[in-house]
Amino acid sequence: MIFQKVLDTINRHNLIEKGDKIVLGISGGPDSVCLLHILNRLKEMFDIEIYAAHLNHQIRGIEAQKDALYVTQLCEEMGIKYFVRSIDVPKYCEENKLSIEDGARKLRYDMFYEIMRRTHANKIAIAHNMNDQAETVLMHIMRGTGLQGLRGIEYIRDQVIIRPLLDIERKDIEGYCEQYNLNPRIDKTNLDPIYTRNKIRLKLLPYMQDNFNSNVIKSIVRMSNSVKEDSDYIEENALMKFEEICIVSDDSVDIAVDLFINLHNAIKYRVLRYAIKYVLGDTNFIDQKHILDIIELEPEKKIGKKLNLPRGLFVYRKKNSIIITVKEIISEDIEFCYKVPKNGFVKIKELGMLVEAETMGIGKYNLSKQENKSNRWFDLDKIKGDLIVRSRKPGDKITISVGNKKLKSLFIDMKIPKEERSRIPILVDSEDVICVGNYRVSENFKVNEETKQVLKICFKKL
């Protein structure tokens, strides 16, 4: 019965195709031994090749060595090619500041992918079962998951990782092993309720079965499966929006705020998760709380803000975008200072910009003042001393209609990010700020009915 159920799962979800080469993660426990035995029975039907992969975590001493020996003997009896590796997982976790669970999982999958490359395999089979599914969903619920977390473990991920036992309960798997005298190894650490998953397995689920619903595992999995179709529909739409409003590079994703802000929250959450997955490769340890923290960066008043999220992820709110990246953006102030001729030009090499100046009479000004909206006009006679273009300085002020205003306050009001402020050219004379790039002109230097000589200034990108 179990064999047929696994075959039905494989066919229903298209987990295995003719000619597949499959790396199977085998611990020596009942789940992976059962899966190895079933896939071996399916070898001729699907014309598949199987490569077993076992990792000794160096956690359980002699017991772990016995596991490796058992896997070796089992594979040789079945005629399965196998790979056995030993890694000091506790040492690796200590050096990389990971929990034993997280470090062991990472090293196992690294090994699976390496063997897949070496053998030119195209699938990795993992022996997660129905109980694992229920435990995972409960863990996600306790972390405050959304629909994605309620999906639990996928039958197939990235068209590579397959889980043919997801519809089989653990007790049935143990019965299968007894039926075929497979004598799998028992990892006693799975009986120690110090890890979250073990607590759910050994305490929470039995309590729920005894006091609420004897079929709670099947009920949880049925609920998980029922949300998959709705979730798939939303995911398809979210992926289209991600591709529409995001610009991706090697290590970052830029999200256009004006397009993002009007999306439904269900789509927003997923667009952000797609962005994070693009940058990190997955969304492990990124909780809904972190997603909500990013969404709080939407308002304009958040321009210039930065978030530090788990796994070295940075999120920046820029003027027109939200940037998700693993590369810290360090803003360095640019300093420059050049004398500007009153007829001619000067190049600001630090900005890749040209400042052009032309002196003219009021008559020519009246004829040409509408020719280019990017030009700035000043009363030449009001300018004292040399004309200088430079980067901003602490305490700089400009005269506006309501009085003097510090440039720092001006930049804040105009929502100019901190890292861009030193790149704005400040035009000054010997006493005052004349203008702030193309943003603001001082009231003290504007052309009026008394002006006789006019200075035209134009800031151009090279």
Fold of 2-223: Rossmann fold (3.40.50)
SS3 content of the chain, % helix, strand, coil (to 5): 45, 20, 35
Q: pLDDT digit string (tens) for 54-106? A: 998 888 788 888 999 999 999 999 999 999 998 888 898 888 888 888 888 89
C-alpha span between 356 and 375 (Å, rounded): 9
Spans of all domains in the chain: 2-223, 249-325, 337-461
Q: Is the pLDDT of residue 416 over 90?
A: no
For residue 188, give the 3-state DSSP assignment. helix
For residue 457, give the 3-state DSSP assignment. strand
CB 87 within 8 A of CB 57: yes
The CA distances from residue 349 to 85, 263, 289, 330, 353, in Å, are 57, 41, 44, 21, 7
pTM, two decimal places: 0.62
Query: Which helix (H) or strand (E) covers residue 135, if one does?
Result: helix 130-143
Q: Is the pLDDT of residue 412 over 80?
A: yes
The confidence band for 190, taking pLDDT boundaries of 50, 70 and 90, is: low
C-alpha span between 153 and 151 (Å, rounded): 7
For residue 416, give the 3-state DSSP assignment. coil
* Confidence at residue 161, expressed as pLDDT on a 0 to 100 scale: 96
Pairing of strands 252-256, 321-325: antiparallel
Q: What tokens were used for 360?
A: 């003219």
The rounded percent of the chain whose pLDDT value lies above 70 is: 97
Q: Which CATH number fits domain 337-461: 3.90.870.10, 3.50.40.10, 3.40.190.10, 3.40.50.300?
A: 3.50.40.10
CB 423 within 8 A of CB 373: no
DSSP string, 230-282: HHHHHHHHHHHHHHHHEEE-SSEEEEEHHHHTTS-HHHHHHHHHHHHHHHHSS
* Confidence at residue 59, expressed as pLDDT on a 0 to 100 scale: 80
Q: What tokens were used for 201?
A: 């397995």
The confidence band for 15, taking pLDDT boundaries of 50, 70 and 90, is: very high
Report, as an integer, the average pLDDT of 416-445: 90
The confidence band for 171, taking pLDDT boundaries of 50, 70 and 90, is: very high
Q: Does domain 249-325 have CATH number 3.40.50.150?
A: no
Q: Is the pLDDT of residue 135 over 90?
A: yes
